[in-house]
Amino acid sequence: MDIAEAQRVLEDLRQGIPPDGYIRHFTVGRKTEIDKLDELFKSGRPIALLIKANYGTGKTHLLRYIREIALEEGFAVSLITLDAKSAIRFNRMDQIFGAVIRNVEIPGYSGKGPSTLFEALYHTLNSSIRDTKRLKLLNELHNYGKWDQTTLLASPSLFIAIRAWITGKDHQEDCKIFPQEVEGWISEPWVYYTQTNMLLNKFIRRGRLYFRDPRLVYGPAPGRIATFDFRAYDYQQAWDGLKDLDTISKLLGFKGMVLLVDEFEDVIYNLRKGRKDPQIDAFYNLFSLFKGRYPGYSFYAVTPDFTQTCKRLLLDKGYYDFDYSRFDQLATFEMSPLGLNDLKLLADRIIEVYTIAYHQNPVEDNIIKIDHLLEELDPRPIEDKTRLAIRRIVRCLDDFYYEETG
């Protein structure tokens, strides 16, 4: 770690944000939980889990830890944060699909999003592959280079997006298919629901010299609309798109895609009631994920009383016939709080980075002051104790630094 990188890490820690690329270094304690996570990925048996912990005690940190180890283990990853105010509602699977593809990351590739995914696929298509199984899957993807249909992907929109992106990359000047337009559409498909003919012209008709798709060009309007609509048939295409992202990840030579969802409490507090109750739809989507509708690993950060809060919410709304036992069937992953020795070990690691960043090694008296600060903080029942401890450690080191340097 050089000086600039150390200063970046400290800036994240000042704000209580887990620093990307160094999550493992700042993960202390919870050895039992960490060992279980490592075993999960090594087992190769996908699972859906609720990650339970109080606000500020490490849910986001653990999700980012899972992200790092998943990438290291050879998985694609997408970490999304639910926010109904920013059009990422869990009752709207088209919005979830858009958020997932916007945030997808692939081992060995910088950046994230559909452009990263499609670029990796483009390189795969243009490389020599000796693995007969992967070659068979590639042929199923594009029908032996014809790109007229696919037997590999279930989502027609995702297939059209991939085909248009690759065609535009190879023949942009001739067919006028622009990859950035493809990315914009597939990342936020709901924005284009009233623009079916525009999508048809941009991503199908313009490329007809390079592929044929007569069903979409000449077929009836209802069929064309459903092709571009992730809401159709109870969001079937959004669900298919999520499964396809896992399939594409395996096609690229990875182990699949790990889905991480932060701020899952949003489904309780920030969904407005309309013609249908959005919480009910969100809960059924969650149950579907835990029943295997998404074939890969998925993790959802919640507080310890999440399931009880959900039950109370539904009872308060008068849903007396709801099958509440379904909440109890959700697999959970409990996180233990950090103890004093864990916090002191965390302080030691922050001090190491601070020393690199500012060439300032705290004297023994300053380290003792930090220990006393943590001893005072440890017994207090504060929800965001870990985050508060990290910020106070960095603030103390800043104060020591300014005292020494004037």
Instruction: State pLDDT tens for residues 69-80.
Output: 889 889 999 999
Provide φ and ψ at 32, rounded to 5°. Answer: -60, -45
pTM of the model: 0.84
pLDDT for position 11: 86
C-beta pairs of 62-65 under 8 Å, 24+ apart in sequence: 62/33, 62/301, 62/335, 63/260, 63/262, 63/299, 63/301, 64/18, 64/20, 64/23, 65/18, 65/23, 65/24, 65/27, 65/34, 65/37
Whether 81 and 24 share a structural domain? yes
Are 157 and 230 contacting, i.e. CB atoms less than 8 angstroms apart? Answer: yes
Share of residues in the chain with pLDDT > 70 (%): 88
What's the chain's length in residues?
Answer: 406
Between 8 and 32, the higher pLDDT residue: 8
Q: Of 200, 234, 268, which marks where a domain is finished?
A: 234
pLDDT for position 157: 93
User: How are the residues of the chain apportioned to helix, strand and coil, as percentages rounded to the nearest 5?
Assistant: 60, 5, 35
Provide φ and ψ at 329, rounded to 5°. Answer: -85, -10
Whether 63 and 105 share a structural domain? yes
Residue numbers of the domain that contains 78: 16-114+246-334
Q: Which burial class, exposed, middle or buried, applies to 367 when counting CB atoms under 10 A from its CB (0-12, 13-18, 19+)?
A: middle
Q: Residue 271 falls within a domain, yes or no?
A: yes
Q: Residue 320 falls within a domain, yes or no?
A: yes
Are 67 and 60 contacting, i.e. CB atoms less than 8 angstroms apart? Answer: no
In 252-339, which residue ranges form alpha helices assigned H by DSSP?
266-269, 278-290, 306-316, 325-328
Between 144 and 373, the higher pLDDT residue: 144
Mean of all residue pLDDT scores within the chain? 84
Q: Of 213, 234, 255, which marks where a domain is finished?
A: 234
Whether 253 and 106 share a structural domain? yes
> In angstroms, how far is the first alpha carbon of the chain from the final one?
26
Q: pLDDT digits over 78-122, tens only?
A: 999 988 777 788 989 999 999 999 999 999 898 899 999 999 999
Q: Residue 241 falls within a domain, yes or no?
A: no
Based on the structure, what is the number of domains in the chain? 3
Whether 22 and 84 share a structural domain? yes
Mean pLDDT (whole number) for 13-34: 74
pLDDT for position 225: 59
Name the band, by pLDDT with cuts 50, 70 and 90, for residue 378: low
Tokens at residue 280, please?
């009910």
Q: Residue 9 falls within a domain, yes or no?
A: no
Name the band, by pLDDT with cuts 50, 70 and 90, for residue 162: very high
Q: Residue 150 falls within a domain, yes or no?
A: yes
Whether 325 and 345 share a structural domain? no
Whether 349 and 328 share a structural domain? no
CATH number at residue 330: 3.40.50.300
Full DSSP string of 340-370: HHHHHHHHHHHHHHHHHHHS----HHHHHHH
pLDDT for position 365: 67
Name the band, by pLDDT with cuts 50, 70 and 90, for residue 320: confident
Distance separating alpha carbons of residues 138 and 146, to the nearest angstrom: 12
Q: Residue 160 falls within a domain, yes or no?
A: yes
Q: Residue 7 falls within a domain, yes or no?
A: no
pLDDT for position 237: 93
Lowest mean pLDDT among 70-74, 237-241, 365-369: 365-369
Per the listing, tokens 């609509």 go with: 229
Whether 364 and 306 share a structural domain? no
pLDDT surpassing 90 at residue 60: no
Name the band, by pLDDT with cuts 50, 70 and 90, for residue 346: confident
